[in-house]
Amino acid sequence: MAAPFSFAPENLYQPINPWEFFGSQFGFFNVIIGDTPRPDLEKTILKDVGSYGRQIGRIGEALQVIMRHMDHSKLTEPERRALVMLEAQLLEIENIKSRASPR
């Protein structure tokens, strides 16, 4: 006599390439990229342009250039503090990168 229930899933799917996107599943980890009207476009940008980390890194590098050339004398104290905090984070990132083994 068969049991009235089963622990086995009706559909079983295992990707062969664990680093390929499957909906919001990225390999063995769930990556939530937020709601977007164009997930296909997000996937293409991540694949062809760069990861979110790389994109944010480029923005940080560009902001460093702008901050070096701007007049800080007219900034309020909270504005100066915000730039100092950003610069400190960017410096921490650079230190981590310099300690990492080259790929």
Is a pLDDT exceeding 80 seen at residue 29? no
Span 43-92, pLDDT tens digits: 899 999 999 899 999 999 999 999 999 999 999 999 999 999 999 999 99
CB 36 within 8 A of CB 44: no
Average predicted confidence (pLDDT) for the chain: 81
Q: What is residue 30's predicted lDDT score, i.e. its pLDDT?
A: 59
CB 19 within 8 A of CB 27: yes
Global pTM? Answer: 0.60
Q: What is residue 36's predicted lDDT score, i.e. its pLDDT?
A: 81
Task: Assign 3 a pLDDT band (cuts: 50, 70, 90).
Answer: low
Is a pLDDT exceeding 70 seen at residue 14? no
Name the one residue in this structure whose structure tokens are 């062969």. Answer: 16
